[in-house]
Amino acid sequence: MQRRMRGWTWIGGPLLVVLGLLHAGGHPARAQSEPRVEARVSADSVKIGERFTLTLVAARAADRDVMFPSVDAGSAVFGDLHAVRRGAVRTRRSSTARRVDSVAYEVTTFALDSARVPVLPVRLASGGDTTVVGTPPRTVPVVSVVGPDAEALRTPAALIPFPRPAWVWGLLGLLTAAVLGGGAYGWWRWRTHDQDGPDAPDPERAYEAASAQLRRLERRHPSGPEAAKAFYVDLTEALRVYLVRRVGVRALEQTTAEVVAALRRRPEVREETIQRLRAVLEQADLVKFADAQPPPAESQAVLDDAQAVLDALEATRRRDEARATDDASSSA
């Protein structure tokens, strides 16, 4: 019996290994090359306002560069967590073809009961291609700061009313009139701004305004991280406002992927123009959200591409308007 068991072990061991590889998809090398990211927190539960550590870990191929979210990305990226500061990126080698990068954020939260940690985007770049991999979402329990004797708390007794002198009522009347007047003025200013804001229809001057804003950027040299972010924020604002006013795409409230999808639903816009606009917006996203710092020469090239996209969109728009005018004249 023991000889039979040893024979089965000798045959069955390699068989189980082969079955395991087949279950994994038959491509162990490809499975190992796939990037993996995860988010770790330093505590099982936290208190409101307490600072703790959020660590992002990315296992990737050695020929890829990793870019973690910026510390000032805000709630759109970090959800219920507020990032206070970010540490340096640390890299270790797991094998000759794999690297593991990690970065620690000091965070806090003011959520009640639980804090939502959404899918955190980690960008992996190789050559001219960029892949975004997200961490699995998770929830961090938030412990109440009220102690176990909370049932013994009592509502404070009401204050004893004291009679107010006449001048107090007069002052309250003046304050009320000032608040009402300020509210009316603010409403009027809001209405005026809403009519003259980015969503206001002004197709005749949209191209000129966007081109002038891009020309002003030619005099800037975004050499530092803050200067680079400001440069790309102004550059994408010029393009997005033009898309709103002239093309009719709600670009100010859409992501880069949504803007590209909206333009592809318009057959008059050429695919070459869409791809060029996508490259400009994705470069700006890397600078604004992943702390990328391109050299000034590369930023100038992106600025030239933005102007080329603007020219192509305007030429398409004017051609369609001329065609519509000719059709209207023919039908009349």
Q: Where are the domains of the chain?
A: 32-141, 203-324
CA dist 113 and 47 (Å) reads: 9
Task: Identify the DSSP state of 270.
Answer: -
Q: Tell me how far apart the alpha carbons of residues 221 and 42 are, in angstroms, rounded to a whole number.
A: 40
Written as six digits, the tokens of 41 are 């927190």
How many other CB atoms sit within 10 Å of the CB of residue 289? 20
Distance CA 52, CA 64 (A): 29
Contacts 24+ apart (CB under 8 A), 24-33: 32/97, 32/98, 33/61, 33/97
pLDDT of residue 176: 83
Tell me 252's DSSP state. G
CATH of region 32-141, choose from 3.30.365.10, 3.40.50.1400, 3.40.50.261, 2.60.40.4100: 2.60.40.4100
Tokens representing residue 189 in the block: 């200013």
Per-residue confidence (pLDDT) for residue 18, from 0 to 100: 39
State residue 275's pLDDT score: 94
Give the model's pLDDT for residue 94.
Answer: 75
Chunked in runs of 10, what are the mean pLDDT values of the chain (332 residues)? 44 42 46 78 87 89 85 82 88 84 90 85 80 86 68 57 66 78 60 44 78 91 83 93 92 92 92 94 90 86 93 90 82 70
Query: Can you read off the two tokens belonging to residue 25?
Result: 């998809």
pLDDT score recorded for residue 71: 79
How far apart CA 126 and CA 96 sit, in angstroms, is 17
**pLDDT at residue number 112:** 82
